[in-house]
Structure 1
Amino acid sequence: MVMKVEELSFDSASAEATEEFLSTAYTPMRIGKSAADARTRISRRAAGPLSVDRLSFGYDMAYDADSLGRVCLLSIHAGTVADRSGKHGETVFGPGETFLIARPDAPYQGEVRSAEYTIAMFDTALLDAVAPTGADGGPVRLTGLRTVNGAANRQLGAAVAYVRDHVLGDPAACESELLVVTAAQHLAASVLAALPHSARTEPVPADRSDATPETLRRAIAFIEANADREVSLADIAAAAFVTPRALQYAFRRHLDTTPLGYLRRVRLDAAHRDLLAADPGSATVTGIAMRWGFAHSGYFAGLYRAAYRRAPGETLRLRA
């Protein structure tokens, strides 16, 4: 299915116009208006549950904003952003850092200091689609703004860059519903791997008892029948009649992988079969990879080489 892509842009030196635009594009907010030249440039591409913005502020701008209602990640390229929402003063983020600007349900305050950065936003429902429930049995809640360590920061930054450059930044990729939804799930999973949150990761006794070969069989049957469609962790768990946590434990116990990792392998196998059957005169590796949810050609090639011990292009040329 072709997904609708939305674009917008903003370029102004008026603080009043900037405040109006930010309040419309993000959430109602008040900004400082003391700069003589409040040059602001913003561009956005959005498709489905994802949006990616590029922002450039040539001055220091304080802000006081309402809650966003979405997960909003910032990757800073130049300058700094200071958060003033906490009880312990100011927290400053600089170049190379990727972080959560605020909890989705909380207002936030701070200052952008002559900064250039990327914003990636997605619906909070995606967190529940890729994770078990919170420790209290409710939806997963993000509990901190900064990543748990430096490696997590690099991984989260890479996930944002992947969505920006290889999905929403690629006209062909961002029109594919499967590609966009797969990328959104990847970004949501990266958030839960990198940021503090409330999800309980250890299975409870009921989850252990449900993590049976029969659960695995039902889950695998559903994955293999629906690999060409949008599939979430919650979808697979529902098809297997267990909780998402029990499903994850079943895959870890019996296959040493995750449900979404298994889905990725099924899609890789489907791409392999298409490469074997395709006419090298008309088909391309990129086109086949995109058909199965792989937007980044280098990432696809790496997975493919690891699985089949050859480059995907070599497989495509076998029929030549």
Structure 2
Amino acid sequence: MNAPAADDSRMRTLVRSDDLDETREMISTAYSPYELRVLNKPQDFSAWYAEGGFPGVTLSALSYGTETLVAPEPLTTYLLICQVHRGRVRVESPGREEQFVDTGETYILDPHRRFKVFWGAGARMTTLRLSREAVDRAAGEALGHEEPVRARFALGGPVSAAAAESWSGVSAAVHREVMTGGVARTNPLIAAQLTRTAAATLMATHRLLPASEPVRHVGNVAHPAVRRAIQLMEERSDQPLSLSDLAVAARLSPRALQEAFQRYVGRTPLAHLREIRLERAHQDLLAADSDGPVTVAEIAFRWGFSNLGRFADWYRRRYGHAPSLTLRG
């Protein structure tokens, strides 16, 4: 059973426009900053976006009138389970995965990666948004860990026909709650239970990448300034960050931040940032197709390692072998 297609009369319409710039601004605010480009017949461009939800879940519906490219920044704090209700889209994670998604099929946008979504003319879909925190907790429980696990998902849909039926049933229940104004909107206990059920079912029905591993708890560090700096590192590890940037986020001077890190973490702020980036590079190497176009250099540069020799040395010290061996594995 497929989840019902969204009806704009039962959701709050935020965008109904034929203006490309207006659409880009509005949907960037709803999701994350993203590229929006018309690929064919710009005179036919139109967009519709609506959303609804309850605490823990946001359901969105959107469509474009002509062939369109959407390329969001990494979502970071949540993931999207997307279902095509009309038409076809092509989704790719540059250098890693590509999938054509037809009417009735689903795909997942992992929060840690960049994606490009090529919409066919008139395609329409709904997206179910779950917080990364809720999914990581479900991943930890599913994998037998006491702590949350940073869940990394493959692009594809459910792993089997039976899994697809299970996910479809839960997805339909979420859709009904949103579309009919169910009790989850006003009952926090029901909302929390339905959110946990959706996250747990997602774990049981979709493929988790082997790069998934226990989450480092920022909250375990006692010093609030250190927590703020680490939070920035976790959220923007793929972007240039200097000691001054981290100090601004921590609300300390660079020297005071250095001293706080040595006391509470046991290393310098930039050394801690390097460890986070090594972890992210390791995850990407594990997830990459050894026969695909991605290279060690591409992944190293993606995570800010401009010197490949140093990257290989740091990687070998942490993981016991060269990064090329992980890629080939």
TM-score by length of 2: 0.53
Contact 2:15 2:50 in 1 (8 A): yes
1:27 is aligned to 32
Hey, what's the Cα distance between the residues in 2 that align with 1:129 and 1:7?
30
| Aligned partner of 2:112 among 101, 105, 108 | 105
Structure 2 portions without partners, runs of 5+ = 1-10, 212-329
| Aligned-pair CA distance for 1:164 | 1.4
Hey, what's the Cα distance between the residues in 2 that align with 1:116 and 1:21?
18
Secondary structure (helix, strand or coil) at the match of 2:103 reads coil
Q: Structure 1, residues 79-108: CA drift from partner, whole Å, max 9, x if none?
A: 1121121426741101111220x2111121
C-alpha change, 1:139 and 1:30, in structure 2 (3 Å) is same
| Aligned-pair CA distance for 1:116 | 1.2
Which residue identity is paired with 2:33? Answer: P
Hey, what's the Cα distance between the residues in 1 that align with 2:176 and 2:27?
23
1:54 is aligned to 61
| Aligned partner of 2:45 among 38, 42, 61 | 38
Structure 1 portions without partners, runs of 5+ = 1-5, 201-320
| Aligned-pair CA distance for 1:198 | 5.2
Contact 2:93 2:113 in 1 (8 A): no
| Aligned-pair CA distance for 1:159 | 1.8
Indicate yes or no: 2:192 matched with 1:187: no
Contact 1:142 1:195 in 2 (8 A): no
Hey, what's the Cα distance between the residues in 2 that align with 1:67 and 1:119?
16
Contact 2:97 2:155 in 1 (8 A): no
Indicate yes or no: 2:83 matched with 1:75: yes
C-alpha change, 1:39 and 1:167, in structure 2 (3 Å) is closer
Q: Structure 1, residues 260-293: CA drift from partner, whole Å, max 9, x if none?
A: xxxxxxxxxxxxxxxxxxxxxxxxxxxxxxxxxx
C-alpha change, 1:167 and 1:23, in structure 2 (3 Å) is closer
> CA RMSD, aligned part only?
2.6
Secondary structure (helix, strand or coil) at the match of 1:132 reads helix
| Aligned-pair CA distance for 1:194 | 1.2
Q: Structure 1, residues 208-257: CA drift from partner, whole Å, max 9, x if none?
A: xxxxxxxxxxxxxxxxxxxxxxxxxxxxxxxxxxxxxxxxxxxxxxxxxx
How many percent of aligned residue pairs carry the same amino acid? 20
Equivalenced residue count is 194
1:13 is aligned to 18
Contact 1:140 1:197 in 2 (8 A): no
TM-score by length of 1: 0.55
Hey, what's the Cα distance between the residues in 2 that align with 1:198 and 1:87?
16
C-alpha change, 1:141 and 1:172, in structure 2 (3 Å) is closer
| Aligned-pair CA distance for 1:33 | 3.2
